[in-house]
Chain A
């Protein structure tokens, strides 16, 4: 399969010079384990990078991705342990230090960690095993083929000799490294860890308060800082009076920091440094600031919505054009015309943004809950006038990520503050800061026109997508549709005439990647509108989809993110079967289905709802998963449950709105995610698959909202085309 790395290059005008930062977030990474080897550096020495064996036999496995609850610390360590033949129960798993010289891509995003690392870590583990066997065979002067390994011990079958990895490591690590691409890997049939549900290594520390998140970092003599930022985007402090703030007990200093430019996108503001978080909060409250609200102070959600509606109803940049939809529309086929609208969304991780920094002259030490430690390092080095290796970045646990913690804004601020303070200082964002200065999921509007023929076959599909695009915010010179069309351009149903057009709508509101990125809206609209066509055709929505997921003979993907119709049909059928599709439901209840592929994984979900006196309740969610080769099925289940709830929070409740240029929602009262009493039971059904690993952090999300919307339609005949859902009372 051809692989194109969709490298997102950002121009960052930090400090004096402009630097280019490549981030791989959002790239599909399908089969990336085999991707563009030519561009890759040679694999690192596994003894340096991944498997630390001490002479006493203790083994540490090193994970160079951020743990934000997705279980990556367990999953990647399982891959290493599998091929290195280690006893997983006796290893410890440690977070890698930020060493881009060793680890080529440390960013955790795009659901890519397993996809990227599956083969490289298998090879790294197998290389360790190979070198241990070579060392043992040399020591015993026997052929390697007579040696076997079990749980970190090499045994010679013909004698009773054995040696542990601890005893062998000194000799093994001096041997020449074999070509890791050619090291013999385990036969997948003998996997003892990969594919087997394994308890997560991070969980015990997460039930007794000992797990250290960024905000928990405590360093001797540390101070705490908060920043007062202009409520509008692009505004700044015109003047401020710090006298009352400085009178607050515990406040040490008040000073202003400027906004950092494109790529980092900090707001700048007035910093209060204090002995405690509380004193910093109280000091900030006591600041008297007159804001210059900047050029975007009149922006509103009403204006944005109207601009999006207009943009969705005019011709746009043509992204896909199969056949000729206009010819079908003019020939009298039965048409369906619909407009869908989705709002801005905040990530709202449970742990607000924070970071701790200690600048010590020509060196800085940083404790960061980040999805992109290498970007943090580069950004902070730039602000501090240091070289990246002079900035030591420790990645802590992340109290949620969902894309928000990929950003370098809070690290940029912390570098500015740490440079002035000169002591260890923890920058803490309040919940209000976090919600009003996020990088939001774009708001979109979608106009669909479809047509079905007299036999009930869909014959045309026209989708015009208008978005406050991510690229439009980050780099106005780049094609704005690039991070908006995924999942819409790959609309997988066999319809002869298909058109997708795109229009960008500008806004000062910062936008970036929110869990599943554009799939979060395209999944909703594609899977809702195909349901509308099924209704127009008088067909059962499951059978209608099933009939359109046709895999042509000799089908091969042309692009890395093409959807395999057979795999999508597979999960569709599995979800329908497990949900009891077609079985009668009581009056007022309905069942809806949606199927969607993103990040290399295939999902179908069935929702059952009850609609009663203008309200609805989700009674049950059924999910079928085909994510290719699984590493830890326990994490696959957990991610499926979590992404569904995250998607349902957006479907049922959450919306970020703008008034006079400022975000209106400031805390969990205005932006309240799903709570336990609203969370439906979720059943997850896994597919055993030997296909390449797909991603798991995001792809369960897109089908959740449309499955519910389709179920509500089935229950009461109301088609919900706007998120969050609002049912008209009966």
Chain B
């Protein structure tokens, strides 16, 4: 057990925890931040995607001890009220079916747009290729990312 300090969605947390525990399970089991999902435990599906200092990472492959001082953002911290351009676009395009993979999809998309405000289809494919959607909503995900890019570009 180690004492670990984390900043998650701008809130500080002090935990006593086994240092090899993946960040995913710290979020879900210790802190009840269950928006970040378990899908495969091997970094294959992207359902557990969160941001560390704005970079998309797979929290199931991130030992909590490796986070250090980096700021963690989860789906719960993306916006207070569904107003992030991606969340608006996800609703406008009616993207989710079951919805289980969508927090990970949105977090991957948010990291993409932060660096590439107006991505091409090819850029979307390479940024989102690690996120599985078993409901097959890829076409809507692509459309929603383009829509969010447009509205963000207009300052909406």
Residues of A within 8 A of B (CB): 68-71, 199-200, 202-213, 215-216, 218, 224, 249-250, 276-279, 281, 348-352, 397-402, 428, 430-431, 634, 638-639, 641-646, 649, 667-669, 672-677, 679, 681-682
Q: How far is the CB of A403 from chain B (nearest CB, A)?
A: 13
Q: Are B96 and A352 in contact (CB under 8 A)?
A: no
List the B residue with the shortest CB-CB distance to A278: B25
**Given known contacts A199-B91, A207-B96, A668-B44, A276 and B139 CB-to-CB distance under 8 angstroms:** no
Quick one: which of B33, B37, B39, B99 contacts A203, CB cutoff 8 A? B99
Q: A352 CA to B40 CA in the complex, in Å?
A: 9
Which residues on the B side are within 8 Å of A667 (C-beta)?
Answer: 40-42, 44
Give the interface SS of chain A, mostly helix, strand, loop or mixed: loop
Q: Are B42 and A669 in contact (CB under 8 A)?
A: yes
Q: How far is the CB of B35 from chain A (nearest CB, A)?
A: 2
Q: Are A400 and B38 in contact (CB under 8 A)?
A: no
Interface residues of B in 120-146 (CB under 8 A from A): 124-126, 128-129, 131-142
Q: A316 CA to B59 CA in the complex, in Å?
A: 53
Q: A277 CA to B32 CA in the complex, in Å?
A: 12
Q: Are B97 and A351 in contact (CB under 8 A)?
A: no
Q: How far is the CB of B79 from chain A (nearest CB, A)?
A: 7
Which residues on the B side are within 8 Å of A398 (C-beta)?
Answer: 98
Quick one: which of B75, B99, B138 contacts A399, CB cutoff 8 A? B99
List the B residue with the shortest CB-CB distance to A430: B41
Q: How far is the CB of B24 from chain A (nearest CB, A)?
A: 8
**Given known contacts A203-B96, A349-B134, A352-B38, A218 and B139 CB-to-CB distance under 8 angstroms:** no
Q: Are B39 and A350 in contact (CB under 8 A)?
A: yes
Can you list 12 residue pairs at the A/B interface with Cβ under 8 Å?
A68-B97, A203-B95, A216-B34, A276-B25, A277-B28, A351-B100, A399-B101, A638-B94, A638-B97, A641-B137, A676-B129, A676-B138
A-B contact count (CB 8 A): 186
Q: Are A69 and B135 in contact (CB under 8 A)?
A: yes
Q: A212 CA to B139 CA in the complex, in Å?
A: 25
Which residues on the A side are within 8 Å of B126 (C-beta)?
Answer: 677
Give the interface SS of chain B, mostly helix, strand, loop or mixed: loop
**Given known contacts A69-B97, A351-B37, A677-B129, A431 and B134 CB-to-CB distance under 8 angstroms:** no
Q: How far is the CB of B27 from chain A (nearest CB, A)?
A: 10
Q: Are A210 and B38 in contact (CB under 8 A)?
A: no
List the A residue with the shortest CB-CB distance to B87: A207
Quick one: which of A212, A641, A672 contacts B136, CB cutoff 8 A? A641
Quick one: which of A200, A207, A431, A634 contacts B82, CB cutoff 8 A? A207
Q: How far is the CB of B112 from chain A (nearest CB, A)?
A: 12
Quick one: which of B32, B44, B139 contacts A681, CB cutoff 8 A? B139
Q: Are B29 and A431 in contact (CB under 8 A)?
A: no
B54 beta carbon closer than 8 Å to chain A = no
Q: Are B100 and A209 in contact (CB under 8 A)?
A: no
**Given known contacts A208-B78, A399-B37, A69 and B42 CB-to-CB distance under 8 angstroms:** no
Q: A669 CA to B131 CA in the complex, in Å?
A: 13
Quick one: which of A348, A401, A642 contacts B137, CB cutoff 8 A? A642
Q: Are B38 and A277 in contact (CB under 8 A)?
A: yes
Known: A209-B76, A682-B139. 12 other contacts (CB 8 A): A69-B98, A208-B76, A215-B37, A216-B34, A399-B37, A399-B99, A400-B134, A401-B98, A641-B139, A673-B132, A676-B129, A679-B139
**Given known contacts A68-B98, A397-B98, A249 and B18 CB-to-CB distance under 8 angstroms:** yes
